[in-house]
């Protein structure tokens, strides 16, 4: 086994660093070329208007912020380890009744019903929901869904499976509130 001298190690490290810099520069050049090609096609199309080039950029920014939001949720999310990663839906939890829940994050299985998801969330976050005597459907706790905090939440049907509700995706907000709760901008 041959030993490498400190000078050879330094030269090898320098060569690796140069190769990495070259690879990064090449990747940046490819991205710049792709971006300029995209701009060229959007500005040269006959139906394009002055606002057309900015329109495609907005969803990309929103999608990028959604990815960042999901990554933040994943750091602190509670859930069952046995849920396959491919089946997880990561959401923020908020509640007008339980302010201590605000900005808690959980993940649930997208194959579960909304009712089972709520039961698991209540269990994981150790929430004592009020028991209705006698049963009152308007007072029972439900899950409301919103994409962003300033969106008007909609109530989810307890029997629906999360994978069947196309509007529910990772990064969304679930609000736990009585079924007769009405949203007001806060």
Say how far apart CA 82 and CA 101 lie, in whole Å.
24
112, 84 in Cβ contact below 8 A? no
pLDDT at 62: 56
Domain boundaries, the chain: 7-41, 66-178
Beta bridge partners of 177: 142
pLDDT digits (tens, 9 = 90+) for 122-164: 888 888 766 655 555 556 778 888 888 778 888 888 898 988 8
Mean pLDDT of 61-75: 76
pLDDT in tens, 97-131: 888 877 788 999 999 999 898 889 888 888 876 66
Please tell us whether the domain made up of 66-178 is placed in CATH 1.10.287.130.
no
Q: Starting at the edge strand that comes first in sequence, how are the strands of the sheet with 141-146 ordered?
A: 104-109, 88-94, 172-178, 141-146, 154-155
Q: pLDDT tens for residues 33-64?
A: 777 766 655 554 444 444 444 444 444 445 56
In angstroms, rounded to a whole number, what is the distance separating the alpha carbons of residues 156 and 160?
Answer: 8
């Amino acid at each position: 086994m041959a030993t490498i001298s400190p000078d050879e190690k330094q030269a090898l490290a320098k060569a690796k660093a140069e190769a990495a810099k070259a690879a990064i520069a090449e990747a940046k050049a490819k991205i710049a070329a792709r971006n300029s090609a995209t701009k060229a096609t959007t500005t040269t199309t006959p139906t394009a208007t002055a606002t057309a080039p900015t329109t495609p950029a907005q969803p990309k920014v929103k999608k990028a912020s959604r990815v960042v939001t999901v990554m933040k949720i994943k750091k602190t999310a509670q859930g069952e380890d046995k849920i396959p990663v491919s089946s997880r839906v990561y959401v923020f939890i908020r509640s007008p009744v339980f302010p201590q829940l605000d900005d808690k994050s959980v993940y649930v299985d997208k194959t579960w019903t909304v009712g089972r998801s709520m039961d698991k969330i209540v269990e994981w976050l150790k929430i004592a929901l009020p028991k209705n005597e006698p049963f009152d459907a308007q007072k029972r706790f439900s899950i409301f869904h919103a994409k962003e905090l300033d969106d008007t939440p909609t109530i989810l049907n307890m029997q629906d499976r999360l994978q069947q509700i196309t509007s529910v995706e990772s990064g969304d907000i679930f609000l736990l509130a009585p079924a007769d709760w009405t949203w007001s901008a806060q």
